[in-house]
Amino acid sequence: MVIDFSASWCGPCKFMEPVLNGMAAKFTEVQFVKLDVDELPDVAQEFGVQGMPTFVLLKKGKEVDRVVGAQKNDLEKKVEKHRDLVAAT
């Protein structure tokens, strides 16, 4: 699962939206969830989100990786890496 911590006023978050839609179409076995930090600040705080966008990669309920900022190549590499680990087990 990839949680996208974003905000409606965040320019880089808007830039990443079509990128995430593309990744969701490419990695159909991975669930992508968008979370607005202004609507759910407690959840953002629980995950220690300090900058946006922040992408938290979870596997079996535990954080396995994260990407802070509009780093689309880094995010895609990490999604692919962790997706492959799931497929290999």
Residues involved in catalysis: 10, 13
Helix (H, G, I), strand (E, B) or coil at 30: coil
- d(Cα 61, Cα 74) in Å, to the nearest integer? 22
- The phi-psi region of residue 69 (left if phi > 0; otherwise alpha if psi is between -120 and 50; otherwise beta) is left
Continuous H helices in the chain: 11-26, 41-46, 72-88
